[in-house]
Amino acid sequence: MKICILAGDGIGPEIVAQAVKVLDKVGGKFGRTFEYSEALIGGAAIDATGSPLPEATVKLCKEADAVLLGAVGGPKWDTIDPAIRPEKGLLGIRKEMGLFANLRPAVLLPQLKDACYLRPDIVENGLDVMVVRELTGGIYFGEPRFEGEKDGERYGYNTMVYAEHEIRRIAKVAFEAARKRDGRVCSVDKANVLDVSRVWREVVIDEHKNYPDVELSHMYVDNAAMQLVRDPGQFDVMVTGNLFGDILSDAAAAITGSIGMLPSASLGSDGPGLYEPIHGSAPDIAGKDMANPLATILSISMMLRHSFDMTEEADCIDQAVEKTLEQGHRTGDIVEPGARSIGCKAMAQAVLDNI
């Protein structure tokens, strides 16, 4: 299997380096070989080539069987021309590879229940939500868009736009995902206000006819944000557009107490998938061996499961991570106040020892 590594910026390189060690160890255990290529993205790519997404990167990613990404962005590039911001690299690779489906599972592991921000009685029954976020459309990519001046004042706009085929294919992904879980999909929109959301809802209802075994409900996005913190146990799969999914997946991640724990998979209809932790580049702790590598290690597990059908190998990683937490190892982001935390490398080493 060929894997293209996009380490990116901030803590990206350090977490990716640890995750690759885990992949190699699992490969050794199960007799699999992984070959790696490396390419530039984000700020690192801007510094080296002037572009956040060089053509060579797109080519290597498309030739690979899967892509592993660290994170992009940082204060160094905050004042750069918006057309070449590091984030454009990430949006660009998603679009170029046709990765329209972003799976973001937010799970509260029993070992981390004390890190959860919600009251124990609220999360008594656990927390296991899969956010299915549309990733290559909506307001992130809609035209027309504008940033500038009009009538003597600053002025800007973006367009939230969805075509039926874009909604239908992400709805399918959500219904299929629900079939492998608890069989429930909640579609999140703003159909009481937005025309685009009314189209979204109609198409989701129509596609649901092909999945009569799955339960479908609808929720306005403001209510969904509230329900996520009020009673997250009510959700199984949440499917939504690009912007709402960006926001709700951070909320879902944060209530587990550990944005440093959550992986993601970005998939297209065919071709390689891209796997990345949902947290950002954390420039404040970059290079200090303080980052939590577990979200990236768990992203490797998602890669093995979704791109390579290597279920046993993926289970092995998940179990090693859980055992590591059971043994009490904690990085700074998930440690209880006053308790001792370990660094990025030591955390990864503990996982390696448990494989």
Q: Which residues bind Mg ion (CB under 5 A)?
A: 246
143 neighbors 95 (Cβ within 8 angstroms): no
In the complex, minimum distance from the CB of residue 251 to ligand IPM, in angstroms, rounded to a whole number: 12
Q: Which residue is nearest to ligand IPM (CB)?
A: 87
List the beta bridge partners of residue 37: 4
Taking the complex as a whole, how short is the minimal distance between the CB of residue 27 and ligand IPM, in angstroms? 27
Q: Which is nearer to Mg ion, 248 or 351 (CB)?
A: 248
Residue number with CB closer to Mg ion (243 or 286):
243
Contact track, ligand IPM, 335-354, x by CB under 6 A: --------------------
Question: Does residue 300 interact with ligand IPM by CB under 6 A?
Answer: no
Quick one: 91 or 316, whose CB is closer to ligand IPM? 91
Please report the sign of the dihedral spanned by the C-alpha atoms of residue 176, residue 177, residue 180, residue 182: negative
User: Cis peptide leading into 283, omega within 30 of 0?
Assistant: no
Dist CA 202 CA 339 (whole Å) = 51
Q: Which positions are catalytic? A: 140, 190, 222, 246, 250
CB of residue 105 vs ligand IPM: minimum separation in angstroms? 14
Q: Which residue has the tokens 């030739």?
A: 63
Report yes or no: 145 and 161 within 8 Å, Cβ to Cβ.
no
Residues 76-115 contacting ligand IPM, CB under 6 A: 87, 90-91
User: Cα-atom radius of gyration of the chain, to the nearest Å?
Assistant: 20
Among Mg ion, ligand IPM, none, partner that 87 touches (CB below 5 to 8 angstroms by kind): ligand IPM
Dihedral pair phi/psi, residue 98, rounded to 5°? 65, 35
Q: Residues 53-66, buried b or exposed e (16+ Cβ, 10 A)?
A: bbeebbebbeebbb
User: What's the closest the beta carbon of residue 139 comes to ligand IPM, in angstroms?
Assistant: 11
DSSP code string of 102-128? EEEEEE--GGGGGG-SS-TTTSTT--E
Q: Mark residues 228-257: x for contact with ligand IPM by CB under 6 A, - for none.
A: ------------------x-----------
Helices (H) and strands (E) in the chain, counts: 11, 12
What does 166 bind: Mg ion, ligand IPM, none (CB cut-off 5 to 8 Å by kind)?
A: none
Q: What does the binding site for ligand IPM look like in residue numbers (CB under 6 A)?
A: 73, 87, 90-91, 246
